[in-house]
Structure 1
Amino acid sequence: MLKIIQVTDLHLTPPGVHHIGCDPRERLEAAIASINAEHPDADLVVFTGDLAALGQVAAYEQLQDCLAELKLPYRLCLGNGDHRARFRAAFPTTAVDENGFVQSTEEIDGQHLVFLDTLAADGRHWGELCDARLSWLRARLNDIGEAPVLLFLHHPPFAVGIPLLDSLTLQNAEKLASVLVGKNIRHMFFGHLHRPIAGSWKGIPFSVLRSTVSQFALRLGADSAARSMESPFYAVALISADSVVVHFHDYTYEGPVIEYRPVPAVIVDDETIAYVFQQASTS
C-alpha cells in the first residue's frame, strides 16, 4: 500500500515574523516532527503550495532549514504565495518542465503522481494553468496511458460555497477538465482553501485540508471571509489498488487519548443492557 503525506499552505515568513497570529516555522517544525515519529514508513511527503507567505528569500531559507529535518523524500508544489524564480534559486534541484514551471511526475508502486504548478503569471491569488502547462500535462497523461494517476496542485478548479475563496480558484477549469477527460485520475489533492473539504469534481474524487497556519472559517455564502485559529492538519493518504483513503491529522492535539472498548450491540428487547454498560463505562 502506498502511503503519502500531504502538507499544505505553510506560509513561511522571515525569522521573527508571524503570520495571522502564529509562527509558521514553529507549526511546520511540529508537523515534520510528527511525520518523522508517526509515519516513518511513508513513501513521500508532498507540500502543495504556498510554501512562503509572500515569496521572500528568507522564507525559502526557513523552508530549507525545516526540510533538512524531514527523514522522508518530498516534493514541493507552488501556490499563489510563492515566487517561482526565488523558489528555484533556493531549491535548484527541484524538477521543472521544459518551460521552467515546477511540474514533474513520479511513479511509485504502479501509481503515477503528477505535480502541477498553478502559480499565476501575474502573481494574483487565483490559479492558472496556461496552455504550455496544460500541454505538458496532456503529454504526460498520454505517456501514462491507462495507469492510475494522483494529481497534486495548489488551486482547486471548483467553487466550495465561500464567495471569496470561490473567486480565487483555478481560472481555466474547463481547459483542465478537457485534458483530464478519459484519463484514470484516481484522486486530486489540493491546498489553498485552508479547510478540510472532500467531494468530487467532474467525477474525480478530491480532498483539501487545513493549512499549517490559520484557517478560513466555515461561513458558507457569507459576503466576507474570516480567518480562524482552528488546529492545523496534515493528511495521510493510503492508496491501494482498490481504494484511496485520506486521513486528516490534527498533529498539535495534546489532549487525552482514551482507550476504546466497542460498545455492545443494541439489544432492542432489553434496553437495560445499555444502562449497565453506561454505568460501567463512567465508573
Structure 2
Amino acid sequence: MKFIHITDPHIVPIPQTLCALDPRARLAAAISDINQHHSGADCVVVTGDLAYLGEPTAYKNLRNILSELAVPYHLLVGNHDDRQNFIQAFPETPQDYNGFIQYVIETEVGAFVMMDTMEAEAPQGVYCDQRFEWLEQQLQIFATRPVYLFLHHPPFDIGIGSLDKSRLPSAERLAKLIAAHGNVRHIFYGHVHRPVWGSWNGVPTSALPGTNHQVGLTLGGSPEMLGTHERPAYGVVLIKEDCINVHLRDFIDTSPRFPLLNTASKHAATPRDLPLPSAELAGI
C-alpha cells in the first residue's frame, strides 16, 4: 500500500499570507506534485492544523484546494482548528458518538485510526476519558489486525522545549493501551513542523515538515519557538507486511536532475555541465 502524509497546511483566507508565505499556494503545489507523481496512491492523510485560525472561509479555501486531488483524502484536526467550522465545511468527515473527529479507515494493510487531540483555544494536546473510551473500543474491534495511529499532537517529547510543552499529556495511559493491544505498527503525527523519526515504547513514529512554515531545530529547553522558511515536504508512505518506509518529498525542489552513474555527471564542473536523465525520470 502507498499513501501520502501531509501535515499542518495552516490555510488562511484569501488574500492573507502567513509568515511571509502563501499557505494556499504551498498546499496547491503539494497537491499538484502528488497528482503528477503519486496519483496511484490509496489516499492522502492530513494530520491537523488544517487552518491557521479556523475561520469558515479558510476551510472553504481548503476544500477548494483539496478538490484538485486525484486520490481520496482523510482529515484530522489540530490545535489551530475550529471543530464546528471544520464540520460545516467537511460534513462528510466521520465523528465519534461524542462529536470528536475520530474515525477508522479500513485498508488492505490494517486499520488507520484517526484521533482527535484538539482542545478548543489551547495549544496543548488533550485526550479525554470520552476519547480514550472510543479508542479502546476501536483497538478491541481491530484486535487481530495491524493498527496505525494518526494524531496531531505527539504523546512524547521530541527534544524541542517550545514544542514539548504542548505535547499530549496523557502519554502513560495511551502507552498502556497501545501495549495491551500489541499490534500498533506506527504512529503518524503532526504539530512539530519538522521531519522527525523515532520510536516510542517500541512503536515506530514519524512526523513531517509542514507545507508552509517550519519550526527551527532549537534543541533544549528554550521557551521561544523559532520559525523558519526551511523547505516544506510531504511523506510518501509504503507499507508492506514486513516493513514500513516513509519517504520525504520536497515538492518545491527545482534542483538539477541527472543520471548519477553517468561518467559525464561525475566529472561535471558546474550544474550546466550535467547531462539530462531519461525522459521518464526528468520530471521527478
When the two structures are superposed, what TM-score results if normalisation uses the length of structure 1?
0.91
Answer yes or no: is 1:241 the counterpart of 2:241.
yes
Rate the CA distance shift 1:78–1:279 in 2: closer, same or farther, 3 A.
closer
Write the distance in 1 (CA, Å) between the matches of 2:47 and 2:134.
19
Larger Rg: 1
Counterpart in 1 of 2:232? 232
Write the distance in 2 (CA, Å) between the matches of 1:104 and 1:125.
22
**What secondary structure sits across from 1:179 in the alignment?**
helix
Q: Which moved more, 1:150-159 or 1:174-183?
A: 174-183
Write the distance in 2 (CA, Å) between the matches of 1:41 and 1:149.
22
Answer yes or no: is 1:107 the counterpart of 2:93.
no
Give the fraction of aligned pairs with identical amino acids, expressed as a percent.
Answer: 42
8 Å Cα contact 2:260-2:266 kept in structure 1: no
Residue identity opposite 1:34 in structure 2: D
Answer yes or no: is 1:256 the counterpart of 2:242.
no
Quote how far apart the aligned CAs of 1:110 are. 3.6
Matches within 5 A, 1:175-194: 175-183=173-181, 184-194=183-193
Write the distance in 1 (CA, Å) between the matches of 2:98 and 2:163.
29
Rate the CA distance shift 1:180–1:278 in 2: closer, same or farther, 3 A.
same
Unpaired segments of 5 or more residues in structure 1? 263-276
Write the distance in 2 (CA, Å) between the matches of 1:176 and 1:12.
30
Quote how far apart the aligned CAs of 1:146 are. 2.6
Quote how far apart the aligned CAs of 1:179 are. 1.6
Write the distance in 2 (CA, Å) between the matches of 1:28 and 1:119.
22
Q: How far does the alpha carbon of each residue in 1:41-77 deviate from its partner, in whole angstroms, 9 at most, with x for none?
A: 1001001000000111110011110011111011000
**What secondary structure sits across from 1:62 in the alignment?**
helix
Quote how far apart the aligned CAs of 1:95 are. 0.6
Quote how far apart the aligned CAs of 1:278 are. 10
Counterpart in 1 of 2:274? none
Quote how far apart the aligned CAs of 1:222 are. 5.2
Matches within 5 A, 1:264-283: 281-282=267-268
8 Å Cα contact 2:258-2:265 kept in structure 1: no
Q: May I ask how many residue pairs the two structures share in their alignment? A: 267
1:123 counterpart (121, 124, 148): 121
Write the distance in 2 (CA, Å) between the matches of 1:19 and 1:222.
26
Matches within 5 A, 1:67-106: 67-106=66-105
- For the aligned residue pairs, the C-alpha RMSD in angstroms reads 1.5
Rate the CA distance shift 1:279–1:206 in 2: closer, same or farther, 3 A.
closer
Rate the CA distance shift 1:279–1:208 in 2: closer, same or farther, 3 A.
closer
Write the distance in 2 (CA, Å) between the matches of 1:279 and 1:130.
56
Segments ≥4 residues shifted beyond 4 Å: 277-280
Matches within 5 A, 1:119-198: 119-120=118-119, 122-183=120-181, 184-198=183-197
Unpaired segments of 5 or more residues in structure 2? 270-284
When the two structures are superposed, what TM-score results if normalisation uses the length of structure 2?
0.91
**What secondary structure sits across from 1:235 in the alignment?**
strand
Write the distance in 1 (CA, Å) between the matches of 2:167 and 2:206.
15
Q: How far does the alpha carbon of each residue in 1:239-270 deviate from its partner, in whole angstroms, 9 at most, with x for none?
A: 000000000110000111121118xxxxxxxx
8 Å Cα contact 2:11-2:51 kept in structure 1: yes
**What secondary structure sits across from 1:101 in the alignment?**
coil
**What secondary structure sits across from 1:182 in the alignment?**
helix
Write the distance in 2 (CA, Å) between the matches of 1:281 and 1:92.
57
**What secondary structure sits across from 1:70 in the alignment?**
coil
Counterpart in 2 of 1:273? none
**What secondary structure sits across from 2:254 in the alignment?**
coil
Write the distance in 1 (CA, Å) between the matches of 2:169 and 2:86.
23
Residue identity opposite 1:164 in structure 2: S
Rate the CA distance shift 1:278–1:87 in 2: closer, same or farther, 3 A.
closer
**What secondary structure sits across from 1:47 in the alignment?**
strand
Quote how far apart the aligned CAs of 1:282 are. 3.9
Residue identity opposite 1:241 in structure 2: E
Quote how far apart the aligned CAs of 1:9 are. 0.2
